[in-house]
Amino acid sequence: MEGALQRQSEERDSGIMTTQPSADEVSHLAVDIGGSLIKLVYSSIDPNDGLDDKGKKSSEEFSRVPNDNNDYPVLCGRLHFAKFETSKINDCLEFISSKQLHRRGRWHHEASGQDKDIIKATGGGAYRFADLFKEKLGVSLDKVDEMDCLVSGVNFLLNAVHPEAFTYIDGREEYVQIDHNDLYPYLLVNIGSGVSMIKVDGDGKFERVSGTSIGGGTFWGLGRLLTKCKSFDELLEMSHNGNNRVIDMLVGDIYGGMDYTKIGLTSTAIASSFGKAVSENKELGDYSPEDISRSLLRMISNNVGQISYLNALRFGLKRIFFGGFFIRGHAYTMDTISVAVHFWSKGEAKAMFLKHEGFLGALGAFMSYETHGLDGKITA
């Protein structure tokens, strides 16, 4: 599959994809309504669909073929992904309505009328916005647990999609060959608005072992307040050009430019995030938004990396998969998390990232059509 899905999904911030299946071809829609973003996953059956005007793939094909009875399992055809800001839920509803994604097409003529008006939904918004979906689209949300969805989403990706997981070391993405016989246990760290850490022992076998409220929402919320930037992408973009050393207090700042070798800290290690702002007689406006964004991104990525490692250590886990839209395939974020995991584990644990990072929950909800057998099979 060409490029990272992250890049494809960025093109879809407006919710507009290059090609759309017709309503007749849409088979299933699932939504994950989080604290910051709504994620949609829907499938279409037409094999020609999903190609943009340049003939490139704009969505992902999952090649489950009809079974012996000539039935199509839910997860067949082409999957489409879209996302919206949760604060713009009306745009999302408009998108679903204009594409008739909630009206399953000709493949579902045999599904009962009641089943047709139900869509699988996960995330807190499945509760918060249930009435709105009913009012605006006339559909009921069949709620699926968020943690269940994250785990089934990631297990599906790790087992069925290659390449999916990759490491990010010294500025290089390297895809990881997953050994299906040696996948479990692992730690899944989902960095959404907040952060959940889940020890996964198998299909449907997991425990949420920890979490932190210092996550993607913190980066975006604090960043917006401190830099006055207008979008998450702008904030992330600014971090590219920033220098965290302007604001962060380094070990060298405290130790007169020296390393603190005895406890393994180099002079360039951050001793205190944002710590320099205390000792300098400067106001917020004296710092560049780029430097602020860089320090903030580094602080949060480092913190998540460190807590993740500590939880991996707690349970003797060597592999940590990071998901959630905070990552956004962003080089500096992945680098900071990788370095934190490497540093704290002394190279024992490995940070891995996922191409479909932000769609784990939505994919899990999508797959629950199959698991829960809402209408299970589609007769061709």
Contacts of 160 (CB under 8 A, 6+ apart): 62
The H-assigned helical ranges of the chain are: 5-11, 89-99, 113-116, 125-128, 130-137, 146-160, 216-227, 232-240, 251-254, 276-279, 289-315, 331-345, 360-372
Paired tokens of 114:
């009641």
Rounded least distance, CB 72 to ligand ADP, Å: 29
Judged by CB under 6 A, which stretch of 214-222, 260-268, 283-291, 366-374 contacts ligand ADP?
214-222
213 interface partner picked from ligand ADP, ligand PAZ, none, CB below 5 to 8 A per type: ligand PAZ
Q: Say how many residues touch ligand ADP, by CB under 6 A.
A: 19
Q: What angle do CA 34, 336, 323 make, to 5 degrees?
A: 30
Rounded least distance, CB 9 to ligand ADP, Å: 9
Rounded least distance, CB 151 to ligand PAZ, Å: 13
* Interacting residues with ligand ADP between 227 and 246 (CB under 6 A): 232
Residue type, position 115, single letter: D
Residue type, position 90, single letter: N
Q: Specify the residue, 154 or 250, whose C-beta has the smaller distance to ligand ADP.
A: 154
Query: Of these, 206, 326, 344, 366, which contacts ligand ADP (CB under 6 A)?
Result: 326
Phi-psi region of 49 (alpha: psi -120 to 50; beta: other; left: phi over 0): beta
Q: Specify the residue, 193 or 336, whose C-beta has the smaller distance to ligand PAZ.
A: 193
Q: Specify the residue, 15 or 105, whose C-beta has the smaller distance to ligand ADP.
A: 15
Q: By beta-carbon distance, which residue lies closest to ligand ADP?
A: 34
Query: Of these, 18, 19, 24, 35, which contacts ligand ADP (CB under 6 A)?
Result: 35
Instruction: Work out whether 328 is an interface residue with ligand ADP (CB under 6 A).
Output: yes
211 interface partner picked from ligand PAZ, ligand ADP, none, CB below 5 to 8 A per type: ligand PAZ
Neighbouring C-beta atoms of residue 125, cutoff 10 Å: 22
Instruction: Work out whether 217 is an interface residue with ligand ADP (CB under 6 A).
Output: yes
Instruction: Work out whether 307 is an interface residue with ligand ADP (CB under 6 A).
Output: no
Q: Specify the residue, 76 or 149, whose C-beta has the smaller distance to ligand PAZ.
A: 149
268 exposed, middle or buried (CB, 10 Å; 0-12, 13-18, 19+)?
A: exposed
Paired tokens of 173:
């993405």
What b/e string do you get for 176-203 counting C-beta neighbours within 10 Å, with b at 16 or more?
bebeeeeebbbbbbbbbbbbbbbbbeee
Judged by CB under 6 A, which stretch of 23-31, 34-42, 61-69, 337-345 contacts ligand ADP?
34-42
Residues near ligand PAZ (CB under 6 A): 34-35, 123-124, 146, 192-196, 211-213
DSSP codes joined into one string, 100-149: TTTS--GGGTTS-HHHHTEEEEESTHHHHTHHHHHHHH--EEEE--HHHH
Rounded least distance, CB 181 to ligand ADP, Å: 30
* Cα separation, 33 vs 40, whole angstroms: 9
Neighbouring C-beta atoms of residue 371, cutoff 10 Å: 16
Give the position of tokens 């059509």: 369
Instruction: Work out whether 223 is an interface residue with ligand ADP (CB under 6 A).
Output: no
Rounded least distance, CB 132 to ligand PAZ, Å: 17
Rounded least distance, CB 37 to ligand PAZ, Å: 8
Rounded least distance, CB 324 to ligand ADP, Å: 4
* Cα separation, 139 vs 70, whole angstroms: 29
Give the position of tokens 């800290």: 265
* Interacting residues with ligand ADP between 112 and 171 (CB under 6 A): 123
Instruction: Work out whether 329 is an interface residue with ligand ADP (CB under 6 A).
Output: no
Instruction: Work out whether 37 is an interface residue with ligand ADP (CB under 6 A).
Output: yes
Contacts of 48 (CB under 8 A, 6+ apart): none
Residues forming the site for ligand ADP (CB under 6 A): 13, 34-37, 85, 123, 192-193, 216-217, 219-220, 232, 324-326, 328, 358
